[in-house]
Copies of this chain bind each other. A is one copy, B any other.
Amino acid sequence: MLNERSKKVLCAVVQNYIDFPGSVGSRTVAKRYSFGLSPATIRNIMADLEEMGFLTQPHTSAGRIPTDRGYRFYVDSLVAEGDYYSNIEILQGLYNRLEALRNNIDVLLSETTKTLSMLSHYIGVAMSPMPDISTLKRIELLKYKADKVAAILFTDEGLIKNRVVSLDSEVSQKDLNRIAGYLNSEFSGHTFDEIRLKVIKEMSKEKTRCNSLILRAMRICQEALFFLHSDIFVSGLSEVLELPDFADLKKIRDLSRAIEDKHTIIKLLDKLSEFDGVQILIGSENLMDEMEKFSVVVSTCKEGDRPIGVVGIIGPTRMNYAKAIYIVDNTAKFITKMLVER
């Protein structure tokens, strides 16, 4: 459908647009990339590419700029060729700083976003695994105040969460230990989703309602395990505001709305986390109105098949994809190593 020559021209246009702001004309392409073709020929090809939806004109008599579809083609051929960036030294230096934080996953992820945004000059994002599908490793209950208990949740993914829950009556630490023991024997090794179901089922049993220990245990679970959510970290908005792409206010508003709506971002990243390797969504592929001018490049850190975190970059569709892919890929691998070895 697209002959070799058209492909080359398309990629040249996209590349040039990424490298230099401003629409790209036939003359530029003919000159800068040596096709041995005259501007007129390039013009014809570009007209064809426009017809096919890879390029568009901001206005008659301007050059062409890529559409989302154009970027997609470019990125796909980039990935196919494995033609990324490469200067590992710079990365390594920044990663070293993160080494010291490996014990505390939330601090690690939060700092990782800063590193990502520094490296890429785009927005860095990172997300801890979705609690719903995380598996509980252990729960500990510590008496906190007379009728409050701090529940410490450990997951197989290495997350540690603490939540305070209120009880209807005072309970001794000894009783709490018994309750915790019971909960661990029942729920350890199950995902939070499963546990929630079990709790609901258990609560409806006659037997449970009579056994005050189990009843208490279930109540605590209800409060402690519901409404858990992924932690998400975002940083580097000020980086992208320096880019010429963000000259207009509307775009900035959209972006800031999008990144403040953590819930939606979490869903987006979660959906991507089932795949392996670097995933890329370009412009409207995001399926979020506010994000239609932006691209997302992410990779999921996995231990076996289980996601243990997501890292990535958000930037304008006119993004240096080669560099972004390279950075995200390496950062994900680095974080994976740190989290798995932990």
Contacts and interface: CB of A to CB of B under 8 A. Distances in A.
Contacts of A223: 103
Contacts of A164: 103-104, 160
Contacts of A120: none
A294 to B, nearest CB: 15
Interface string A254-270: 00110010000000000
A247 interface: yes
Interface stretch (A28-36, A46-54, A137-145, A205-213): A137-145
Q: How large is the interface on A (under 10, 10 to 19, 20 to 34, 35 or more residues)?
A: 20 to 34
Nearest to A234: B260
A142 B140 contact: yes
A165 interface: yes
A122 to B, nearest CB: 14
A214 interface: no
A152 B162 contact: yes
B237 A241 contact: no
Nearest to A103: B164
Interface string A89-127: 000000000000001100000000000000000000000
A148 interface: yes
Given A103-B164, A162-B152, A242 B237 contact: no
Given A140-B142, A235-B260, A260-B235, A103 B241 contact: no
- For the complex formed by this chain, how many copies does it contain in all? 2
Contacts of A140: 142
A330 interface: no
B163 A104 contact: yes
Interface in A147-175: 148, 150, 152, 154, 160, 162-166
Interface of A: 103-104, 140, 142, 144-145, 148, 150, 152, 154, 160, 162-166, 223, 235-238, 241-242, 246-247, 249, 252-253, 256-257, 260, 342
Given A103-B166, A104-B163, 14 more contacts: A103-B148, A103-B163, A103-B223, A104-B164, A142-B152, A144-B154, A145-B342, A160-B162, A235-B260, A237-B237, A238-B260, A241-B256, A246-B249, A247-B249
